[in-house]
Structures are given as structure tokens and as C-alpha cells.
């Protein structure tokens, strides 16, 4: 069995430390060691995006990153985006616009959409569709997901303007 390595990362603002085989995938470290079961496994081949998290400010499919590679990084998962008392705008607009059904893709979708809106706060429908193309959904047909994301952008921009 390969030697274990000492892994240290920050997940949702909290330090995490454990011994793991370097080949362990980040998604399993998050789900099984840290009990962050929001991100899901849909393929393990980087096609579906259900496992999407944010690593050092970038969207990452966590089934495609070894925990060894994630050593020393800062990771955000769906659990770190909002809290029951203070939902993320996307968490609200997805519900408002029926952007989910079985919910299996949803944590990855919202985590990716959050990053997309950070990178492009004013996306067109086309840009949303392109920017979300790494996340598969089998239930919704995307129409309401796109709607939810555009609504979130509008809402975020409106509150930004109000604050200025």
C-alpha cells in the first residue's frame, strides 16, 4: 500500500488535517473524511460536474484532483456558500425558479454558478449556458437553471447598486 501523506487544507474557512494516500480523490476526502456530502459523485471522470467545488478561487471537479494535489489549498464547497439563516442568492433563486428536481446536480451547479457570476457578473443567457456546460443535469433540461442563474445575477447586481 502506498505511503500516506500528511494533508492540510482549509475547507469552508476551517482547517482540516489528516493522513491519506496521495491517490485519494479530493471528492472522497471531502465526503468521507470531512462529512461534506454536498458535492456528489456522478461519474468520477470529470464529465458531470456533480463534484464541483472551489479550490484556490477556481472551479474544480473534485473527482479529478488527488488529495495530494489539494494539499495546502483553500477549498469551498456548497456547505460553505450559505447557511440556513443566510442563504446564498443562488440557493434562493434556484428554489424560486424551480432550478432543481432530484437535487443531485444542484450543489455542483450552484457552486459553479457562484464562480461564474464572480467572473462575469452580467452574463448573457448564452454565456450562462456556455459557462455551465461542464455541469450535467438529467432532470431539469437546464431552462430553469439558466433562469435561476440570470435571476441571481440581476438580484446581486441590484443589491450592489443599492449599496453604492
Partner 1 sequence: MKDEVDNREERVANLKGMGCARKRVEDVRFTQGKGNYVDDIKLPGMLHGDFVRSPYAHARVKSINIDAAMALDGVVAVLTAKDLEPLSLHWMPTLAGDKQMVLADGKVLFQGQEVAFVVARDRYVAADAVELVEVDYEELPVLIDPFEAIKSDTVLREDLEDGADGAHGPRRHHNHIFLWEEGDKAATEEVIDSAEVVAEEMVYYHRTHPCPLETCGAVASMDKVNGKLTLYGTFQAPHVVRTVASLLSGIEEHNIRVVSPDIGGGFGNKVGVYPGYVCSIVASIVTGQPVKWVEDRMENLMATAFARDYWMKGKISATKGGKITGLHCHVTADHGAFDACADPTKYPAGFFHICTGSYDIPVAYVGVDGVYTNKAPGGVAYRCSFRVTEAAYFIERMIEVLAMELNMDAAELRRINFIRKDQFPYQSALGWEYDSGDYHTAWDKALSSVGYDDLRREQAERVEAFKRGETRKLMGVGLSFFTEIVGAGPVKNCDILGMGMFDSCEIRIHPTGSAIARLGTISQGQGHATTFAQILATETGIPADSITIEEGDTDTAPYGLGTYGSRSTPVAGAATALAGRKIRAKAQMIAAYLLEVHDDDVEFDVDRFVLKGAPERFKTMKEIAYAAYNQAIPGIEPGLEAVSYYDPPNMTYPFGAYVCVMDVDVDTGTTDIRQFYALDDCGTRINPMVIEGQVHGGLTEALAIAMGQEIAYDDLGNCKTGTLMDFFIPTAWETPNYVTDHTETPSPHHPIGAKGVGESPNVGGVPAFSNAVHDAFRAFGLRQAHMPHDHWRIWKIANDLGLHD
Task: Return residues touching partner 1 (CB under 8 A).
Answer: 1, 21, 23-24, 28, 31-32, 35-45, 47-48, 50, 77-79, 82, 84, 87, 90-91, 94-96, 98, 100-107, 110, 128-130, 132-146
For residues 116 and 104, give the distance between their C-alpha atoms in angstroms, rounded to a whole number.
Answer: 20
C-alpha cell at 95: 428554489
First to last CA, the chain: 57
101 binds ligand FES (CB under 6 A): yes
* Residues 31, 53 contacting (CB under 8 angstroms): no
Q: Which of 128, 137, 153, 156 binds ligand FES (CB under 6 A)?
A: 137
Q: Which is nearer to partner 1, 13 or 161 (CB)?
A: 13
Residues 47-66 that bind ligand FES (CB under 6 A): 47-51, 61, 63
Smallest distance from partner 1 to CB 84, Å: 7
Cα dist. 98→6, 31, 77, 106, 142 in Å? 42, 26, 22, 11, 10
Instruction: Find the binding residues for ligand FES in span 80-99 (CB under 6 A).
Output: none
- Residue 58 φ/ψ region, left for φ over 0, alpha for ψ in the -120 to 50 degree band, beta for the rest: beta
| Interacting residues with ligand FES (CB under 6 A) | 41-44, 46-51, 61, 63, 100-106, 137-140
Amino acid at each position: 500500500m502506498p505511503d500516506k501523506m500528511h494533508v492540510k487544507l482549509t475547507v469552508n474557512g476551517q482547517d482540516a488535517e489528516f493522513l491519506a494516500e496521495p491517490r485519494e480523490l479530493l471528492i472522497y476526502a471531502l465526503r468521507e473524511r470531512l462529512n461534506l456530502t454536498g458535492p456528489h459523485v456522478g461519474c468520477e471522470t470529470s464529465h458531470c460536474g456533480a463534484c464541483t467545488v472551489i479550490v484556490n478561487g477556481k472551479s474544480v471537479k473534485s473527482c479529478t484532483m488527488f488529495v495530494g494535489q489539494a494539499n495546502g489549498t483553500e477549498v469551498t464547497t456548497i456547505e460553505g456558500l450559505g447557511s440556513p439563516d443566510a442563504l446564498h442568492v443562488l440557493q434562493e433563486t434556484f428554489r424560486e425558479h424551480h432550478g432543481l428536481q432530484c437535487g443531485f446536480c444542484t450543489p455542483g451547479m450552484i457552486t459553479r454558478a457562484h464562480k461564474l457570476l464572480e467572473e462575469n457578473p452580467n452574463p448573457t443567457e448564452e454565456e450562462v449556458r456556455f459557462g455551465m456546460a461542464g455541469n450535467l443535469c438529467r432532470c431539469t433540461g437546464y431552462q430553469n437553471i439558466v433562469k435561476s442563474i440570470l435571476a441571481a445575477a440581476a438580484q446581486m447586481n441590484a443589491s450592489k447598486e443599492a449599496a453604492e
